[in-house]
């Protein structure tokens, strides 16, 4: 009797849409988790940068700002990012147009190949180019010197130009992908109308086509800008030897020089504030640009655009595209594999010098296995936890819509805009004993950083999927006799499962190759794969680093193949 009365009461609440038992708990949980994962580290950076022994002080910031080399690295950061953005945009738009709107041959294959750089970690590319074009001992440089009898190496990859070149080859796909899909979804009638109005083909491209894809171009360009500002891998590999620093690498250098002392970390925190200011400026521009230029030209469905005949330029442009692909995709990958086979760095790359010793050495060392298992562990753990956490938050935001859902949304997306280096410092400050929990030098601190860094990925995919689940699907289940919990379990969850799985892989893949945050967080036994390659190379063991690098490449290719296979046959929502 009492039980039934109780049940009736709960049901009444359920009808009002206040499913207190479940929805309330979910909401509260989301807030608490985001507080711990996101708010605390960010707060700690700000606190430590501006407060000295509990007192507000700008001394630290001023001190850092007054150092000349800090300002130089800030300038470098901006210079590199702007150059990469401009060149990457030009390159991305050019190739997008070539592959999207012209009659160049082998389009499908080339499009797939142009997306490849997106898969691989840029720091491996930087390593490869360093091996090829290093000012003193790069293979290609030596070849040039020998063949053309030059007195000095013609190229020096360890320069701002070199950094820009390598970053460019990894970041231009951002623009390329955006613009290609915009070209594809543009209504060809918009261009036909301009022809009817009297405009020639060339005028149509200038006045109609390009302006119409401008939003896509600027979205991609700003993505490049922000990624490049926060980028660590390439400048750290190419810049350290010549003393070229960017803000992220400077932060790393300050901390590693101080041996992880608190003073070093505080300096790092102050530098982080500088980096955040730069990135925030870029984010503000992004927000402005994106909101001003949102046309609804781009229809959802694919159109069949009229292709422009290249005529005589068709073959030369095809060759150009193939050469670009060789240069940015094949050369670096091949280089990593070849150097991984060579007996000692510097020996010519001929079969007599090849050996498998590097691989045996790499696999024989416990460090390798440790790093691989560490990486697998944190990546899988981060993937799974984020998958559920992201879905939880997405559900709260999309379906329960409590007061403060905007805050939830912002908090879960915020860490993605924060450079990895900065996030790492926040995590160190928060979880190395100052708040009573000491996770420093354990794998858990890396995991926490990954959670914050990648949460937005799964949150975004789950949100998109939940938006697709029309409320009537759940309501139909309710009227068919399912309680609120049951309808969640039987209808909503199965429907967003494919999105959750792809959310997992969206996190797992980049986490496997991550180096920016883990390089600041690793301890003696908690190296990740990226860190292990990085430190092998740091220790001068080039062939071994390359061997491990090629292992990483193979792993990435295998994982990607699996992901494509899985996501291909998922059920449509």
Partner 1 sequence: MASVKFDNISFRYGDNYILKNFSLTVEESQILCLVGPSGCGKTTLVRCLLGLSKPETGSIYVGETCVFSAEKHINIPAERRKIGIVFQDYAVWPHMTVKENVCYPMKKRHMAKADIEKRAMHALAQVNMTEYANHLPSQLSGGQQQRVAIARALVSSDGLIVMDEPITNLDAKLREQMLLEIREIQRNIGTTILYITHDQQSALQLCDKMAIMEQNGSLCQLGNDEDIILRPANRFTFEFIGVSNFIPMLFENGQCYLDFEGKKQIWTDTLPDMDKTKKMEVGVRPNDIVFDDDSPIRGKVHRSVFLGSEYDYFIDINGKELRVQQNTLDAVCLGVAKEGSEVGIKFLNPHYYEAKEA
Partner 2 sequence: MDAQVVLKNVTKRFTTKTLGDIVAVDNFNLEVYEGECFSFLGPSGCGKSTTLRMIAGFEDLTEGEIHLCGNPVSVKNKNLYVPPEERGLGMVFQAFAVWPHMTVFENVAFPLRIQKLNRADVEKRVKEALRHTSLQGLEDVYPSDLSGGQQQRIALARAIVTNPKVMLLDEPLSNLDPKLRESMRFELKELQRKFNFTIIFVTHDQSEAMALSDRMMVCDMGRIMQIDTPENLYNKPINRFVHSFLGESTFLNVVIKDGKVYAKGDMENPLDLDIPANAEEEMILATRPNAIELTGNKGYKTFIKKRIFLTDRTEYLVQIGDQTMKVQTPHRVTFAQGESCCVNFIDPMWYPVEDKAAEEERRRRQLV
> Could you say whether residue 15 binds partner 1 (CB under 8 A)?
yes
For residue 369, give the 3-state DSSP assignment. helix
Whole-number Å distance between alpha carbons of 114 and 96: 10
As measured in angstroms, the least distance from the Cβ of 301 to partner 2 is: 11
- Closer Cβ to partner 1, 14 or 325, answer by number: 14
Interacting span for partner 2 (CB under 8 A) from 193-201, 274-282, 494-502, 507-515: 193-201
Applying CB under 8 A, does 192 fall inside the site for partner 2?
Answer: yes
Q: In the set 258, 442, 483, 535, which binds partner 1 (CB under 8 A)?
A: 483
Select the span of 106-114, 293-301, 405-413, 487-495 touching partner 1 (CB under 8 A).
Answer: 487-495
Task: Please report where in the chains the tokens 């261009």 appear, as a residue.
Answer: 191
Kindly indicate which of the ranges 58-66, 198-206, 471-479, 528-536 contains the residues binding partner 1, using the contact rule CB under 8 A. 471-479
Q: Find out whether 332 and 325 touch, Cβ atoms under 8 Å.
A: no
In this complex, which beta carbon is closest to partner 2, that of residue 151 or of residue 292? 292
Please list, in sequence order, all residues whose beta carbon lies within 8 angstroms of the beta carbon of residue 79, skipping any fewer than 6 positions away. 160
H helices of 396-419, where? 405-417
Q: Which of 220, 224, 226, 223 is nearest to 182 (CA)?
A: 220
Q: From the CB of 477, what's the least distance to partner 1, in Å?
A: 7
Q: With beta carbons less than 8 A apart as the criterion, state whether 358 and 541 touch.
A: no
Q: Among all chains, which residue has been given the structure tokens 């697709």? A: 468
Q: Residue 198 touches which of partner 2, partner 1, none (CB < 5 to 8 A by kind)?
A: partner 2
Q: Is beta strand 51-52 parallel, antiparallel or unpaired with respect to 55-56?
A: antiparallel
207 binds partner 2 (CB under 8 A): yes
Residue 573 interacting with partner 1 (CB under 8 A): yes
Residues 465 and 495 sit within 8 Å (Cβ to Cβ): yes
Whose tokens are 């206040």? That residue is: 18
Is the Cβ of residue 300 or residue 436 nearer to partner 2 in the bound state?
300
Tokens found for residue 351: 């079969």
Q: What is the rounded distance in angstroms from the CA atom of residue 244 to the CA atom of residue 225? A: 19
And the tokens for 282? Answer: 């870029």
User: Nearest distance from residue 301's CB to partner 1, in Å?
Assistant: 17
Enumerate residues 149-188 that contact partner 2 by CB under 8 A: 187
361 binds, among partner 2, partner 1, none (CB under 5 to 8 A by kind): none
- Tell me how far, at minimum, the Cβ of 455 lies from partner 1, in Å: 26
CB of 8 to partner 1, least distance (A): 8
Instruction: Print burial letters for 24-63: b (CB count within 10 Å at least 16), e (below 16).
Output: eebbeebbebbeebbbbbbebbbebbbeeeeeeeeebbee
Question: Is 206 among the residues that bind partner 2 (CB under 8 A)?
Answer: no
* Chosen from partner 2, partner 1, none, partner binding at 423 (C-beta under 5 to 8 Å by type): none
CA pair distance 450, 195, nearest whole angstrom: 52
* Chosen from partner 2, partner 1, none, partner binding at 477 (C-beta under 5 to 8 Å by type): partner 1
Residue 194 binds partner 2, judged by CB under 8 A? yes
CA dihedral 160, 164, 167, 170 (to 10 degrees): -160
Question: Which residues within the stretch 210-239 sit at the binding site for partner 2 (CB under 8 A)?
Answer: 211-212, 214
Of these, 184, 187, 490, 538, which contacts partner 1 (CB under 8 A)?
A: 490
Q: Which of 46, 82, 190, 317 binds partner 2 (CB under 8 A)?
A: 190
CA distance 249 to 234: 10
Based on the shown chain and the rule CB under 8 A, indicate whether residue 142 belongs to the binding site for partner 2.
no
Nearer to partner 1, 311 or 571 (CB): 571
Within 274-313, which residues bind partner 2 (CB under 8 A)?
293, 295-297
Residue carrying the six token digits 């955040």: 276
Kindly state whether residue 195 participates in binding partner 1, applying the rule CB under 8 A: no
Interacting partner of 53 out of partner 2, partner 1, none (Cβ under 5 to 8 A depending on kind): none
Instruction: Closer to partner 1 by CB, 15 or 58: give it.
Output: 15
Cα gap 162→168, rounded to integer Å: 10
| Contact assessment for residue 422 and residue 250, using Cβ atoms and an 8 Å cutoff | no
Does residue number 259 form part of the binding site for partner 2 (CB under 8 A)? no
State the Cα–Cα distance between residues 423 and 179, nearest whole angstrom: 31
Q: Which is nearer to partner 2, 109 or 193 (CB)?
A: 193
The binding site for partner 1 (CB under 8 A) comprises: 8, 11-12, 14-16, 470, 472-473, 475-483, 486, 490-491, 494-495, 497, 571-573
């Amino acid at each position: 009797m009492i039980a039934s009365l109780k049940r009736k009461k709960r049901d009444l609440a359920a009808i009002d849409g206040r499913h207190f038992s479940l929805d309330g708990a979910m909401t509260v949980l989301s807030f608490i988790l985001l507080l711990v994962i996101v708010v605390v580290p960010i707060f700690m950076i700000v606190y430590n940068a501006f407060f000295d022994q509990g007192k507000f002080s700008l001394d630290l910031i001023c001190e850092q700002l007054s150092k000349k080399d800090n300002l130089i690295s800030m300038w470098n950061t901006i210079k590199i990012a702007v150059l990469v953005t401009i060149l990457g945009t030009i390159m991305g738009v050019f190739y997008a147009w070539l592959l999207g709107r012209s009659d160049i041959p082998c389009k499908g294959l080339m499009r797939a190949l142009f997306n490849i750089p997106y898969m691989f970690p840029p720091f491996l590319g930087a390593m490869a180019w360093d091996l090829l074009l290093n000012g003193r001992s790069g293979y290609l440089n030596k070849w040039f010197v020998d063949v053309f009898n030059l007195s000095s190496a013609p190229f020096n990859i360890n320069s701002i130009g070199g950094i820009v070149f390598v970053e460019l080859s990894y970041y231009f796909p951002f623009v390329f992908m955006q613009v290609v899909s915009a070209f594809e979804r543009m209504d060809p009638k918009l261009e036909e109308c301009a022809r009817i109005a009297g405009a020639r083909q060339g005028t149509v491209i200038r006045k109609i086509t390009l302006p119409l894809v401008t939003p896509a171009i600027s979205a991609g360009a700003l993505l490049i800008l922000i990624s490049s500002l926060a980028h660590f891998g390439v400048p750290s590999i190419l810049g350290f030897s010549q003393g070229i620093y960017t803000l992220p690498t400077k932060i790393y250098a300050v901390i590693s020089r101080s041996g992880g002392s608190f003073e070093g970390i505080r300096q790092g925190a102050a530098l982080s504030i500088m980096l955040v200011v730069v990135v925030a400026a870029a984010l503000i521009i992004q927000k402005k640009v994106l909101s001003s230029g949102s046309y609804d030209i781009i229809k959802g469905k694919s159109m069949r655009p009229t292709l422009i005949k290249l005529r005589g330029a068709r073959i030369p442009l095809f060759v150009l595209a193939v050469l670009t692909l060789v240069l940015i995709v094949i050369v670096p990958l091949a280089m990593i594999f070849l150097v991984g086979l060579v007996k000692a760095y510097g020996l010519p790359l001929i079969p007599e010098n090849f050996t498998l010793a590097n691989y045996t050495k790499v696999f024989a060392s416990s460090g390798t296995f440790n790093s691989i298992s560490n990486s697998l562990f944190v990546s899988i753990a981060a993937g799974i936890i984020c998958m559920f956490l992201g879905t939880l938050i997405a559900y709260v935001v999309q379906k329960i819509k409590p007061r403060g859902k905007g805050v939830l949304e912002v908090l879960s997306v915020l860490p993605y805009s924060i450079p990895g280096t900065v996030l790492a410092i926040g995590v160190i400050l928060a979880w190395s004993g100052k708040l009573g929990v000491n996770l420093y030098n354990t794998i858990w601190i890396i995991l926490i950083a990954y959670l914050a860094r990648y949460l937005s990925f799964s949150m975004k995919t789950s949100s998109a999927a939940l938006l697709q689940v029309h409320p009537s699907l759940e309501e139909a289940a309710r009227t068919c006799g399912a309680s609120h919990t049951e309808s969640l379990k039987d209808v909503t969850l199965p429907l967003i499962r494919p999105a959750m799985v792809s959310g997992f892989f969206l996190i797992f893949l980049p986490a496997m190759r991550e180096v920016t945050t883990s390089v600041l967080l690793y301890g003696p036994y908690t190296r990740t794969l990226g860190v292990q390659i990085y430190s092998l190379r740091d220790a001068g063991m080039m062939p071994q680093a390359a061997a491990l690098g090629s292992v990483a490449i193979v792993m990435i290719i295998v994982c990607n193949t699996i992901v494509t296979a899985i996501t291909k046959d998922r059920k449509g929502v």
